[in-house]
Structure 1
Amino acid sequence: MAVQYWIGDFFVDLSRNQITQNGQSQVIAPKALAVLTCLAENQGRVLSHDALLDKVWQDTVVSTNTLQRSIAQLRKAFGDDSKVQVYIKTHAKQGYSLECDVRWHDNANSTSTDSISIKNIQEKTVDETQAKESRTKENDISEALSDTISVVQTATNTSTNTETSSVTHSVDRPKSSLSAIRLITITFGIIILVIIGYQYLAAKQPSKLSFGELRALTSTDNKELASIYSPDGEYIVFHRYSEEFCTNNVWAKNTQTQQEYQLTKNLDSYGSHSFSKDGKNLVFIKTGGCSKPSTQKKCYKLMSLDFNKALMSPQSPSVLMECNNSEIRSPKWLDNNNIALLQKFSDRWKLISYSVSENKSQDLYALENGNIIDYDYSVKDDLLALTSFHNDGYYYIEVLKADGQLLSSHRIKYPEEIANFRLIYPNFSPIENQLIFSTGKQLFTLSYDGQVFNISLPLDESMGTPTFHPDGDRMIVIKGHYDSDIVSVPLSLINKGLINKGQINQDQINKAQITQAQTTKTESNQNKKVSIIQRSIRGEDKAKLQPNGNLIAYRSERSGEEQLWVTDGSSSQQLTHFPMDTFLSGLDWAADGKSILVNANYLLTQVNLDSTQEPLPLEYPVVKLFQWDSKNNSALVLIRIKGILKFAELNLANSQTRIISNQTVSWALKSGNGQLIYKDNMDRFWQPGPAEDKLIEALNGQGSTKQKFLIKEDVIYGINDNFQLWSYDLNEERFEIIGSLPNNVDNLTDINQTQVLITVRISSNKEVAELYLRE
């Protein structure tokens, strides 16, 4: 067995008990290095705890804790930890595996092209990958340079021998001139080789996108989104939603004349659009309530619209296909006049092709043990690009022909600027083999082989769904921001019906702030009007009352990024400093009120009131945090396993996962006595029973798609689609309408004996803009 080997950029020397990187050496315990060597000899394979103990601690009785300490020491040496497992991966209840490439000393100079695996999608950074590729290319050039010099020297020596053999005929040629010729020849060869090598390296660097001017295309009080270009680039098509009139229609705008056209005349909800190749027709998804819902609350229809007629006057779109028991989205009109769609049955998506002429569909691509997340279609190349999760739990980019034939499949290498488990929604770009996507305030390119590169364009507000113009010189984006406030409403006012059923607007907020400032501290909460807990020009929400205290924890974007804050009513404190494009999905207080569990970027982190943090290592990314039971050290969550969402309970002490249900769950909580209540995708309320789950029929029709629910002790509180606050006593099975709330309430976040905390929407601006490439 070799006593020296490489693991990535780390040199392992068993003879010195050292691991070295960049000239920095660390002394490691011999047993820990023995564990590492055993894993290295079985690189990529999972070795059980027993196998490692038997191999390293032969004839010695030790516990698994001894092995765990060795693994922890190795991870520390590699800069790894139990959360981000770049080198040594933990397989729950199975063992460990070494995921990085290994180069033994005998062939340490050879370069492996195997990709480096990281736990749950994360890969080594692009910089490291580029460095490795650069080293490989430099080695290739060095070898080629050596070969060329040898050839030149051989040729020169041959010439010299020939000249020597004929010296009697050329006695007048000076020896110095022969040396000069050899030197010039070698130098000339080196210069040529350097030029070729430079061109070789430069050719392998990815093309760069550089954007200059940003122009607004729509600037109204409405919300514009889901924009695309017409095939000739003359028009943009988008949705326009008016909160004032509660209308949503498809619009078009001529980018040259700036004239706008309303294309539809029916109130409804629409999805993304796609043009036929000739630009004469539009298709999009229309969603609405099902007359007889069986498996889902909303039904989905693939609609078609005559674009030229709609430019003359608004039209009613026609139905091409209707889905009452499956969800469809993202229609793309293919070159063969079929329409590609993502279709979801149960919890899994597949890509299908719908034939308009034959009125039937067929599968294009599906994953048996994975899930498709998104896709795009290139009219120019007649190719499909998909992002998906595979059976190994990693995120992939796949390129297909329009008939579904798979051309390539590669794991996506996440750079450090993107959260490990963030989903990617790329679109084709004018750069060959490159797609483009946004994470909010950052733009990236994604190559067909999974490499991600940052486009240097930091933005002060989020921009999404980048889509290029047919000419490739600019792209369309949706930009804007969301403004919401945290409001406290006295229960007494709701009971008496004194809350305005309209919207709480900015004027009312200003008046409420003045009223609150003038209110004396001796007044009771019941006598106060609506109180503004937190107000900024950015989003403030997810407010939760501190148990046995006076603080309120909440999420805020006031610092430019989503962060966790607390307030005592007079002053506020920022507890976290998460990186750019962070998103928070759920937070909850500990029972003692001394810390908060927050779900940031799919990872659970316990945040103390002094701002110290403790990340909790988990096997799967957490999509939603429903509830934290700090006493039992467990959490109700929605997690993603191989791309599929699962409702689960996590044991935070040992990271074990218990799947509660495989059906779609939108929200879940436990009551004071431990009863589990959850809401399904049809907004029905359920509680588990001994044989099967029981439907709470008294709450049929009281669930709202947007609204969560609360449980205090054994009473459920919620808001229905009529913006009414209601309660349901689980013990007495008694339902009651408490009163009305403003119709711009976005969520019910907490409640106690005297007040209700809600999030109210002040504005939600979205507009269409164009980013122009630099010439």
Structure 2
Amino acid sequence: MAKQYWIGGFFIDVSRNQITQNNQTQTLAPKALAVLTCLAENQGKVVSHETILAKVWQNTVVSPNTLQRSIAQLRKALGDDGVGQIYIKTHAKQGYSLESDVRWQDNYTLKTDSIETSDETDKDAESITQSNTSKPALAAISILTGIIILGIIGYQYLEPRQTTPLTFDTLRSLTATDDKEFDAGYTPDGQYIVFHRYLDKQCINKLWAKNLETQQEFQLTKDWGAYGRHSFSKDGKQLVFLATEACHEPTTQRNCYDLVNLDFEQALESPQQPNLMLQCENSQVKKPMWLNNNAITLMQRNSNRWKLISYSIDQHESTDLYALEEGNLIDYAYSVTDDLIALITIKGDGNQYIELLKPDGSILSSHRIQNPQEIPKSQLIYPAFDPLNEQLIFSTGRQLFSLSYEGDIAKINFPITDRMELPVFHPDGKRLLLIKGPYDNDIVQLPLNQKEEPSSLKPTQQQPFEQSLTYTSFERTNLGEDHAMFQPGGELIAFWSERSGEEQLWISDGNHSQQLTQFPIDTYIRGIDWAADGQSLLVSANNVLTQVFLDSSQKHFPLEYPVVRLFHWDSKNNSALLLLRVKGVVKFMEYDLNNAKTREINDKIILWALKSEDGQLIYKDHLGQFWHPGPVEDKVIEPLTHQGGKSKSFVMNGNMIYAINDEQQLWSYDLQNDTFKILGEVGKEVDYLTDINQTQLLMTIQVSAKKEVVELSSSD
């Protein structure tokens, strides 16, 4: 098929997505030009809606509104008002037809501002243009009527703005303190930023605001709390967020969620106590967004599947906006400018999609996301709207990308190399906020002597009432090191580290370290485990299982589904305990590496799982309970009911379970003798235990969790 053709006096260049007339060039969306080409190929014939949708949006589900938007774009570009229908004619309940003559052109020359054609072609084009505009009065009336109709229907759904390529070259810090600031966003007027400032290394915070002109800061909430990300009402007078607290009697989850709001103007005068709007005790909710219609959307999870709900403040009731029977909702964003919801979903085919919704839940379009080479297919996308262009933006860590409504991804020029996350645009669309800063954790190695008193593991105190960090780091850098594990039958310790710029697998003999892997940019490691012979490790990196040998050679295991977490590798039987994302839903599975087969273990929400020396499966659920299989059904290990602690993980040595509880006590449990012991106390800087042998233990400690709010902008 030719990539260039004429429709009347308009030259269509499909390869450039352009329509040109009288040296005036317009750039249109590729899908719109594909619709025009489909009509041109069937000039004078009625082409049904179904035929156009099947040809232009192959293997993609879209609503008729999507096609109508493309037709509206084409009519505007052609100067066709939609009433007189000089070029594109609507056939009620049938489809569309292209009424103008079409001339296909294989060979052409295109200069910067003009199209070179023969004199004969110019004359033909002029005569066709004159014949098509022989009724100027009718055309003028039609254009005026069309403008009125477009205004009534709603400009935002019919005429997309031209997308401007995003480039950023200026970075400045907005909260350069020693604290951890997170979840930042602009006020609707762009005068302030609102962010969360956390207490020390704990998971409680207060909301703060900062005036971008005066640099003055304001504490908004009176007390410390586990507050989630906030959203402003359209008028900017109130903000809404979640307050999380432990359930009094946990049945389906450990935490309960309160939807609360705060009067922003009053909070600028003095800190306020949030007002309760809604309580959720039996399901998890997250990410409230205040819509223009004064409803609040939230993501709600029952079991392992998320859906989008809308909470009516006036009627005090909620309705489902979006849910999938097969697949899952990953994230969503809301555009105040266009009153539009964008969803990121995983469908039954295992692919990610971007779907556009109206606030009433009606679907405008659905497109599969086309990942470029830099982004693995399994990389989940968490986007934010670009207020000036019909697109969204997201971060993969050290890279920024734009995401079009049609699912196309483009890389954005980004002047820095640090990890940054949670991009949020300023209302003017010319700058955005990001959260910057490393999570600095280290590995410590301590002797284990179970005969000593419990205080033997407690670090010393240099000052009264202040517990200082006195653990000696096994591998000290100012970036992340984690998940250290002893080599079976050897002297090495394996761990992952960010010291080389990306999360990579390392080994150390205590004196020298060696990097084993060269994973690509924005790598995330989610689990490592040694082989029983100590000659290789199994690693989950970028949702893929890889066996890494001590000489750095690798063997990949092509699973059908992305690996969310590697818990345990039984190298003797060559099986692994995994969390897999099956059609968007996370499931607890056992994987046979020899036969490439998976087996679902159960449908519970699993935090961690290991096998004992004698092959017993032990797992920890989302309520912090420990389970082991029984003859008929799995049974709770009763002595460990209140020992779950904040950490997700635990470790095993032989048939002994070890972990740290909420009181920062290291404990052990003997599966054979049903014996529970407190072994000692650890400092508050300890995150969790990572491995243990007969004489030593390995732990991850938090050195700092500094996060700051930065603003990225363009000097143009």
Does TM, normalized by the shorter one, top 0.5? yes
**Aligned ranges for residues 417-456 of structure 1 at < 5 Å?**
417-456=374-413
How big is each residue's C-alpha offset from its partner over 1:488-528, in whole Å with a ceiling of 9 and x where there is no partner? Answer: 011139943133457999xx99997xxxxxxxxxxxxxxxx
Do the aligned partners of residues 442 and 307 (structure 1) sit closer, same or farther apart at CA in structure 2, a change above 3 Å counting?
Answer: same
Q: Secondary structure at the match of 1:252?
A: strand
Give the corresponding residue for 1:478. 435
Residue 350 of structure 2 is aligned to residue 390 of structure 1: no
Aligned residue identity for 1:343: Q
Q: More displaced, 430-439 or 349-358?
A: 430-439
- Gap runs ≥5 in structure 1: 1-110, 118-141, 150-181, 193-202, 513-529
- SS of 1:272's partner is coil
Q: Is the 8 A contact 2:525 2:539 kept in 1?
A: yes
Give the Cα separation in 2 of the matches to 1:747 and 1:288.
22
Name the residue aligned to 1:499. 457
Q: How does 1:488-527 map to 2 (within 5 A)?
A: 488-492=445-449, 495-496=452-453, 497-500=455-458
Q: Distance between the aligned counterparts of 1:457 and 1:481, measured in 2? A: 18
- Indicate whether 1:403 and 2:344 are aligned: no
Pair 1:205–1:186, CA change in 2 (3 A): farther
Q: Secondary structure at the match of 2:332?
A: strand
Residue in structure 2 matched with residue 303 of structure 1 by the alignment:
260
Aligned mate of 1:708, from 645, 649, 659: 649
Give the whole-Å Cα distance in 1 for the aligned partners of 2:604 and 2:469: 46
1 CA distance for matches of 2:436 and 2:117? 62
Q: Is residue 255 of structure 1 aligned with residue 212 of structure 2?
A: yes
Distance across 1 between alignment mates of 2:538 and 2:298: 38
Q: Does structure 1 residue 462 correspond to structure 2 residue 419?
A: yes
Which of 522, 525, 531 is equivalent to 1:590?
A: 531
1:539 to 461, 473, 480: 480
- Choose which of 625, 648, 656 in structure 1 pairs with 2:589: 648
For residue 144 of structure 1, what is the aligned residue in structure 2? Answer: 104
Choose which of 273, 276, 279 in structure 2 pairs with 1:322.
Answer: 279
C-alpha change, 1:491 and 1:191, in structure 2 (3 Å) is farther
- Cα gap change, 1:494/1:438 in structure 2, threshold over 3 Å: closer, same or farther? farther
Corresponding residue SS for 2:276: strand
| C-alpha distance after superposition, 1:730-774 (max 9, x if no partner) | 011010000001111112111011111001111111011111134
Distance 1:752 1:693 in 2: 28
Structure 1 residues 531, 113: CA separation in 2 closer, same or farther (over 3 Å shift)? same
Q: CA deviation at 1:711?
A: 1.1
CA contact (8 A) 2:335 2:387 kept: no
Q: Judge conservation of contact 2:163–2:390 (CA < 8 Å) in 1.
A: no
Q: Distance in 2 between matches of 1:510 and 1:245?
A: 15
Contact 2:528 2:566 in 1 (8 A): yes
1:16-63, Cα deviation, whole Å (9 max, x unpaired): xxxxxxxxxxxxxxxxxxxxxxxxxxxxxxxxxxxxxxxxxxxxxxxx
- Cα-to-partner distance string for 1:199-224 (whole Å, 9 max, x where unaligned): xxxx9996310112111110111100
Identity, in percent, stands at: 53
2:672 and 2:712 mapped to 1: Cα distance? 58
Shift of 1:286: 0.8
| Equivalent residue for 1:289, pick from 238, 246, 249 | 246
Task: Report SS of the residue matched to 2:474.
Answer: strand
Tell me which of 199, 203, 208 is aligned to 1:242: 199
Q: Distance in 2 between matches of 1:273 and 1:685?
A: 34
Q: Is the 8 A contact 1:557 1:563 kept in 2?
A: yes
Match of 2:563 in 1: 622
1:75-104 deviations in whole A, cap 9, x for unaligned?
Answer: xxxxxxxxxxxxxxxxxxxxxxxxxxxxxx
Q: Which amino acid aligns with 2:671?
A: L
For residues 475 and 659 of structure 2, the distance between their equivalents in structure 1, rounded to whole angstroms, comes to: 22
- Please say if residues 462 and 468 of structure 2, whose CA atoms lie closer than 8 Å, have aligned partners that are also in contact: no
SS in 1 for 2:449: helix
CA contact (8 A) 1:397 1:448 kept: yes
Q: 2:504 aligns with which of 537, 558, 563?
A: 563
1:185 matched to 2:119: yes
Select the residue among 665, 680, 704 that pairs with 1:763. Answer: 704
Q: Distance in 1 between matches of 2:426 and 2:211?
A: 14
**In 2, Cα distance between the equivalents of 1:244 and 1:639?**
31
Contact 1:626 1:667 in 2 (8 A): yes
Distance 1:539 1:364, change over 3 A: same
Q: Distance in 1 between matches of 2:431 and 2:550?
A: 46
Opposite residue 144 of structure 1, the aligned amino acid is W
Q: Which amino acid aligns with 1:454?
A: K
Are 2:296 and 1:336 aligned? no
Partners of 2:410 and 2:688 lie apart in 1 by 37
Name the SS of the counterpart of 2:706 in structure 1: strand
What secondary structure does 1:542 align onto? strand
Deviations 1:81-136 (A, max 9, x none): xxxxxxxxxxxxxxxxxxxxxxxxxxxxxx9767699xxxxxxxxxxxxxxxxxxx
2:329 pairs with 1:372: yes
1:515 counterpart residue number: none
What's the C-alpha RMSD, in Å, of the aligned pairs?
2.8
SS of 2:552's equivalent in the other structure is coil
- Equivalent-residue separation in structure 1 for 2:621 and 2:231 (angstroms): 31
Match for residue 320 of structure 2? 363
Equivalent position of 1:223 in the other structure: 180
Change (3 A) 1:712 1:254: same
The 1:502–1:363 alpha-carbon spacing in structure 2 relative to 1, beyond 3 Å, is farther
Structure with larger Rg: 1
Amino acid in structure 2 at the alignment position of 1:262: Q
| Matching residue within 492, 514, 517 for 1:576 | 517
Which residue number in structure 2 is paired with residue 699 of structure 1? 640
CA distance in structure 2 between the partners assigned to 1:677 and 1:704 by the alignment: 16
Residue deviations 1:395-417, cap 9 Å, x none? 11100011110000011111111
Cα offset, 1:377, TM superposition: 0.5
Q: Which structure features the higher share of helix residues? A: 1
Answer yes or no: is 1:554 the counterpart of 2:495.
Answer: yes
Change in CA separation of 1:299 and 1:147 when aligned onto 2, cut-off 3 Å: same
Kept after mapping to 1: 8 A contact 2:376/2:542: yes
CA distance in 2 between counterparts of 1:183 and 1:629 reads 72
Whether the aligned pair in 2 keeps the contact of 1:504 and 1:760 (CA below 8 Å) is no
1:690 corresponds in structure 2 to 631
Which 10-residue stretch deviates more, 496-505 or 392-401? 496-505
8 Å Cα contact 1:281-1:304 kept in structure 2:
yes
Change (3 A) 1:723 1:510: closer
Corresponding letter in the other structure for 2:232: F
Asked if 1:632 is matched to 2:566, the reply is no
Amino acid at match of 1:683: G
Matching residue of 2:550: 609
Q: Which amino acid aligns with 2:105?
A: L
CA contact (8 A) 2:442 2:481 kept: yes
Rounded Cα–Cα distance in structure 2 between residues aligned with 1:734 and 1:210: 61
Aligned equivalents of 1:183, 1:477: Cα separation in 2: 50
| Deviates further, 421-430 or 704-713 | 704-713
2:371 to 411, 414, 421: 414
Measured against aligned partners, the alpha-carbon deviations of 1:642-683 in whole angstroms (never above 9, x if no partner) come to 111100100011111100010100000010001111000011
The C-alpha deviation readout for 1:259-297, integer Å capped at 9, x for no partner, is 111111222211110011111111001111001111000
Partner of 1:208: helix, strand, or coil? coil
Distance 1:418 1:494, change over 3 A: farther
Q: Would you say the 8 A contact 1:464–1:479 is kept in 2?
A: yes
The yes-or-no answer on 1:725 pairing with 2:666 is: yes
- For 1:36, the equivalent position in structure 2 comes to none
Matched-pair contact (CA < 8 Å) for 1:707–1:746: no
CA distance in 2, matches of 1:722, 1:758: 16
| SS of residue in 2 equivalent to 1:698 | helix
Partner of 2:152: none
Where structure 2 has 5 or more consecutive residues not aligned to the other structure, the ranges are 1-53, 61-101, 110-115, 127-159
Superimposed CA distance per residue, residues 344-402 of structure 1 (whole angstroms, 9 cap, x where no aligned partner): 11111110110111111111111111110100100000000000111121111100011
Q: Shift of residue 420 of structure 1?
A: 2.2
